[in-house]
Amino acid sequence: MSEVEAAAVDAENPPKPKRTVRRKKKPLESGGPLYLGHFGLHEAPFGITPDTGFIYATRSHQEGINTLLVALKSGEGFIKITGEVGTGKTLLCRRLLRTLEDEHCVTAYLPNPGLSPETLLRSVADEIGLNAEAGSDQYQLLKSLNEALMRFAIAGKTVVVLLDEAQAIPIEALETLRLLSNLETEKRKLIQIVMFGQPELDSHLANPAIRQLRQRIAFAFRLGGMQRDELHQYLTHRLRQAGLVAGELFADDAVRALFAASRGTPRLINILANKCLLMVFGEGGQLVRARHVRAAARDTEGAHRPWIWW
């Protein structure tokens, strides 16, 4: 049994210390972590599922969204965003999706684009509201999409396709995307394509078979992790969004240890922070310290464990 699990077991009949944190009068999240009521929260503050309601714009994320908006306004065909696992590519993708919807763009969001060429085209058609005829081949699908895109262009609408986990797109489907990006008028592209992927996407695009697509990538951005000076505000922001009204739940030494263990990777930060709160709840305490982070790091795959801690 891990230290985190042991702490949860000890919490079956936890002591009830004097509360130092005020609570918002909201119902607790159904099925949320055991510690919600203990810390005065109404929902989980450190989930690993991308949630735009918890967005905290780090410098890297803000630079990423700014790059995307400038690139899309320029009307270029392909835009590429890469980043390591856990750096928030999917959250950035959803943030862009929400921004584009607010600006009345027509969007097609494909979260799992490991599809055959025809299935990929059908997915794009479905996303933009085009009912493609059953049995249509690739030529017919491209023709139908071209007609639909022309109608959107006449109406002043911009069509943007967002591909998450783009490193998984088969080479044949990438070539189909290139053909799709060929659709244009004399003045503008009829469709723009944004690819979000892990660093492996770069080697995937290096395939000589799709060199023409690679040459059409007008903008590229590498999403980085969080900086040390951003971590405290990140933790505070997520806790406030989850219902914490006042006070701190992470001591300064815990914040330093958390950055060292995560190296600024948001997903790892969330995993470790969640485990820390569970341990403190098990002890009946109210404040996360560095020792809790060390225990969580020992229990977490991918966490960095500097020898100086031990």
Q: Would you place residue 113 in the very low, low, confident or very high pLDDT band (cuts 50, 70, 90)?
A: confident
Mean of the pLDDT values across residues 88-111?
Answer: 91
Q: Sheet harboring 78-83: ordered strands across?
A: 106-110, 159-163, 192-197, 78-83, 217-223
pLDDT score of 104: 76
**Is pLDDT at 308 greater than 50 in this prediction?**
no
Task: Provide, rounded to the nearest whole percent, the portion of the chain with pLDDT above 70.
Answer: 88
Distance of CA 55 to the CA centre of its chain: 9
Task: Provide, rounded to the nearest whole percent, the portion of the chain with pLDDT above 90.
Answer: 71
The SS3 of residue 273 is helix
Instruction: Give helix 290-298 / helix 3-10 axis angle, nearest 10°.
Output: 120
| H/E element, 162 | strand 159-163
What confidence tens digit (pLDDT) does each residue in 209-243 have? Answer: 999 999 999 999 999 999 999 999 999 999 999 99
Averaged confidence pLDDT in the chain: 87
The count of other CB atoms within 10 Å of the CB of residue 289 is: 17
pLDDT score of 66: 95
Mean of the pLDDT values across residues 264-271?
Answer: 97
pLDDT score of 126: 94
Mean of the pLDDT values across residues 124-129?
Answer: 94
Task: Judge contact between 303 and 257, C-beta under 8 A.
Answer: no
List the domains of the chain with CATH numbers: 3-55+227-309 (no CATH), 59-223 (3.40.50.300)
pLDDT score of 115: 87
